[in-house]
Amino acid sequence: MKKLLQELVVKPDEKFKLKKFDPGDTFGYDKVSAGDHLTKNLKRLSSLQYRLYAEAKRAMLVVLQGIDAGGKDGTIKHVMSGLNPQGVDVTSFKVPEGPEKRHDYLWRVHKAVPEFGKMGIFNRSHYEDVLVVRVHGLVPKEVWSRRYDEINDFERMLSDSGTKIVKFLLYISKDEQAKRFRDRIDDPRKNWKFSPADLKEREYWDDYIDAYEDMVNKCSKKNAPWYVIPANNKWFRNLAVSQILCDTLDEMDLKFPKPVAELKGIKFE
């Protein structure tokens, strides 16, 4: 299963071509076997999170990015469902408002970084400032282009301070996006999730793909790797993300703290 971690990571300084990546790839897994593996992974993930919480010396930051309808909410729902809410913080980053607009673009992000012992999940993230900001020309190129280095420095600082960073780009095809939009329109329970703005953003598809490609190529580092997840099949997306999280937490070699007192011989009256 560690094959997925190795197959889906964008290696540092690799020239990764997103346009040649198959968002429908399942790497030989089928829906039934993936479901069995996912069940095991969720149990393992819960156990590893408990160790992280108990150790309380390090944190994990999970970054989820993807084009509209890429499955960020679904990934949180299906992969993080077995985690203890006491040890998880989920932050959704929307258009900056209020004080967020009066600070540097990383201010609100740093505030949301998880404390030691916790997992933090970013639904969108600081990478919006080299994605939507770039695509819509909200700041000049000379501004957003230097943010790659700023983000790398920021993430290196977090890593050096004890925060393990894992970043997932959930990649779907343009046809799959259209299918999911149609489902939101046809299903009354999902109508609220659809906005005419989604169709407007769809017109910038190629621009977003170029921006995502630069993002993973410039900001996938050993201390904060990007994993590109084929996400046309939701069941494979969930399997891949859960497996990579389990493997990463395993590699952290988390330890339970030593007891604060000698436990042998304790008697209760």
What pLDDT was estimated at residue 2?
A: 56
Query: Residue 261 domain-assigned?
Result: no
Query: Residue 17 domain-assigned?
Result: no
By the 10 Å C-beta count (0-12 exposed, 13-18 middle, 19+ buried), 171 is classed as buried
**What's the distance, Cα to Cα, between the start and end of the chain in Å?**
50
The Cα 128–Cα 218 span in angstroms is 14
Query: Residue 27 domain-assigned?
Result: no
Query: Residue 269 domain-assigned?
Result: no
Percent of the chain with pLDDT over 70: 99
User: Counting runs of H as helices and runs of E as strands, what totals does the chain give?
Assistant: 11, 6
CATH number for the domain harbouring residue 188: 3.40.50.300
What pLDDT was estimated at residue 5?
A: 86
Query: Residue 84 domain-assigned?
Result: yes
Residues 6+ apart with CB under 8 A from 264: none
Residue-wise pLDDT for 99-133, tens only, equals 999 999 999 999 999 999 999 999 999 999 999 99
Kindly list the strands in the beta sheet with 59-66, ordered across the sheet, starting from the edge strand earlier in the chain: 9-10, 226-230, 163-171, 59-66, 119-123, 88-92
The Cα 264–Cα 203 span in angstroms is 68
Residue-wise pLDDT for 47-88, tens only, equals 999 999 999 999 999 999 999 999 999 999 999 988 999 999
Query: Residue 202 domain-assigned?
Result: yes
Task: Give residue 153's domain range.
Answer: 2-10+37-249
Query: Residue 172 domain-assigned?
Result: yes
Q: Count structural domains, the chain.
A: 1
CB–CB of 171/205 below 8 Å?
no
Reading the block at residue 117, the tokens are 């012992």
What pLDDT was estimated at residue 1?
A: 55
Residue-wise pLDDT for 171-206, tens only, equals 999 999 999 999 999 999 999 989 888 899 999 999
Roughly what angle, to the nearest 10 degrees, separates helices 205-219 and 147-160?
A: 50
What does pTM read for this prediction?
0.95
DSSP 212-232: HHHHHHHH-BTTB-EEEEE-S
Mean pLDDT of the chain: 95
CB–CB of 47/247 below 8 Å?
no
The Cα 174–Cα 161 span in angstroms is 39
What's 258's DSSP letter?
P
The Cα 153–Cα 47 span in angstroms is 32
Query: Residue 61 domain-assigned?
Result: yes
CB–CB of 210/19 below 8 Å?
no
Among candidate residues 166, 174, 184, the one with its CA nearest the CA of residue 207:
174
